[in-house]
């Protein structure tokens, strides 16, 4: 299994601005967190990291279809390219297992 290293954390593009996502157009893992707190916002093992990040729902809508007046929190993301989606899924499962082990030990 070939897995590369994580990228640096980058600011997630804000809605309504012409900012770009810098991510591999290949299988891999992505992690998105709230910039201020480090709270996990999204995580996934996918076929196309750039596409998955571009499709994340970062703008909420109210029940009546109007745009929510509260902007999403500032987000940041990092990526890790892999050879195949199966490699990405296996690496993500290991990461989740380590996190669960850590959290159960810390509780």
Q: What are phi and psi of 76, to 5 degrees?
A: -135, 155
Domain borders along the chain are 10-59+71-106
d(CA 1, CA 68): 43
Could you say which architecture CATH assigns to the domain 10-59+71-106?
Answer: 3-Layer(aba) Sandwich (3.40)
Local confidence pLDDT in tens for the 107 residues of the chain: 445 689 999 999 877 778 889 999 999 999 999 999 999 999 999 999 999 999 987 665 555 555 556 667 899 999 999 999 999 999 888 887 776 666 666 54
């Amino acid at each position: 299994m070939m897995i590369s290293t994580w990228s640096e954390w980058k600011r997630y593009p804000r809605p309504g601005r012409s900012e770009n996502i810098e991510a591999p157009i290949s299988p891999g893992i992505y992690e998105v967190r709230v910039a201020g707190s480090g709270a996990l916002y999204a995580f996934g093992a996918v076929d196309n990291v750039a596409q998955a990040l571009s499709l994340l729902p970062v703008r909420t809508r109210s029940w009546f279809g109007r745009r929510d007046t509260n902007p999403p929190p500032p987000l940041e993301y990092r990526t890790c390219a892999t050879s195949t989606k199966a490699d990405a899924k296996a690496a993500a499962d290991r990461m989740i297992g380590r996190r669960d082990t850590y959290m159960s030990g810390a509780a």
